[in-house]
Amino acid sequence: MLPTGAAPGGRRGRGTAVRLRRGVPPGGDGGVPRGRPLAGGGATARERWAQALYAPPRRPKADPGPTTWAGRSAHDGPVTKPVVETADLTKRYSRRTAVDAVGMRIREGEIYGFLGPNGAGKTTTLRMLLGLVRPSAGTARVLGAAPGDPGTLARVGMLVEGPAFYPYLSGRDNLRVFARYARAPASRIDEVLKTVDLSDRADDRAARYSLGMKQRLGVAAALLNDPELLVLDEPTNGLDPAGTADMRDLIRDLGAGGRTVLLSSHLLGDVQQVCDRVGVIARGRLVREGTVRELRGGGSLRVVAAESEDARAVAERLYGPDRVSAREGALHLAVDAAEAPRLSRELVRADVDLHAIGWHERSLEETFFEMTASADGAER
């Protein structure tokens, strides 16, 4: 059977040619508009026409590399690592600077935590990396190409600012729609449903899903094209403790498979428990980048004594005043943990009542508040 508008003998009539020039698929002027999802199961002939007509452009044979947003070349040779790299990436909205000269590096195969308070510029940075927002200045490379490059986007999975689904379709049918647009094989649907532990609820309508299930379905959609880079923006936002723990386990599993994950969050627990390296952003500026251990800056010997001034005098005599500080009702000494027995003996000899002594590891929370407070002070 011929498509509507085709002439007998396999030749298309004039009406079909006009429709093609106007960007309308065969079968009538209604067709399938750009951006409208194709619902249902297998593609009909008309839908296949629409897919071919609205397919994204193929990746160029020779990638000229990223450019600065002033038009100058930023290419410095073939780059395979890091997966994401920015230099002085900036976004201004009128007089407000949302992202200020951010320079970050995300290595292949790591879970990178992008940590910052609400309004710090995390989502704006992600949108620039994905080509959804044009930077005001600076350069960026994602998988070796400029942000938004069609060939690169096919290798990136993303969940930015919460998932959105057709409420009257099942979870499985929603994924069918996304898979068709991503040109992902249908076999991936069952695979990703199993990965996010939604196989037993896949045929329920999305409207009946809890918030945690919707977040997991969003991750499943991002995994359909088996991406090299997975970008997750606040994936635990609004989840209860059980849902948060499940999402952390899922992210950990995804990273363990060698996939690079960029996790944006304002929750310290997400980053500390899941991520290999962390970038801390405050007021649009990347104030620190490193492993969780590096950001915490090691530990200290913590001493609690009845006569704190006498205990401090003993500690300063042994190690010098520069290595002794007081906070939260205790002394903190920048010395090795092996110094605890010696210090205990000296405090007893000085007739100081010692209540507790032990090694104290700084939490990421302490470090985070110090760094963001410094950024606030610099802004003022």
Gap between the terminal Cα atoms of the chain: 72
Element (H, E) at 172: helix 171-182
In the structure encoding, which two tokens stand for residue 248, read together? 């952390």
Give residue 343's Cα distance to chain centre.
45
**CA separation for the pair 235, 220 (Å, rounded):** 12
Mean pLDDT by 10 residues, the chain (380 residues): 41 40 40 40 46 42 39 36 91 93 93 90 93 94 92 90 89 94 91 93 94 92 93 88 88 88 87 89 90 76 89 93 88 89 92 89 69 57
The interaxial angle of helices 340-349 and 308-319, nearest 10 deg, is 120
Q: Which residue segments constitute the domains of the chain, with CATH numbers given?
A: 8-53 (no CATH), 299-361 (3.30.70)
- The DSSP line for 91-145 is EEETTEEEEEEE--EE-TT-EEEEE--TTSSHHHHHHHHTTSS--SEEEEEETTB
Find out whether 84 and 229 touch, Cβ atoms under 8 Å.
yes
Other CB atoms within a 10 A radius of the CB of residue 186 amount to: 12
Q: Peptide bond preceding 25: is omega within 30 degrees of 0, i.e. cis?
A: no
Residue whose tokens read 């919707």: 214
**CA separation for the pair 354, 333 (Å, rounded):** 15
Give residue 271's Cα distance to chain centre.
11
The pLDDT, as a whole number, for residue 22 is 39
Find out whether 152 and 145 touch, Cβ atoms under 8 Å.
yes
Other CB atoms within a 10 A radius of the CB of residue 153 amount to: 21
The pLDDT, as a whole number, for residue 116 is 87
Cα-flanking dihedrals φ and ψ of residue 203, to 5°? Answer: -95, 5
**CA separation for the pair 264, 261 (Å, rounded):** 10
**CA separation for the pair 360, 333 (Å, rounded):** 10
Q: Residue 131: how many CA atoms within 13 Å on its side-chain side?
A: 15
CA quadruple 177, 179, 185, 189: dihedral sign: negative
CA quadruple 357, 358, 362, 366: dihedral sign: negative
Q: CB under 8 Å to 294, separation ≥6 — which residues?
A: none
* Closest CA relative to residue 134, chosen from 58, 60, 71, 62: 71
pTM, entire model:
0.66
**CA separation for the pair 134, 324 (Å, rounded):** 49
In the structure encoding, which two tokens stand for residue 234, read together? 């606040």
Cα-flanking dihedrals φ and ψ of residue 306, to 5°? Answer: -65, -45
**CA separation for the pair 24, 334 (Å, rounded):** 72
The residue type found at 329 is G
In the structure encoding, which two tokens stand for residue 285, read together? 């500026």
Other CB atoms within a 10 A radius of the CB of residue 190 amount to: 13
Across-strand partners of 159? 232
The pLDDT, as a whole number, for residue 4 is 42
SS3 state of residue 150: helix
Residue whose tokens read 């970050």: 104
The pLDDT, as a whole number, for residue 169 is 95
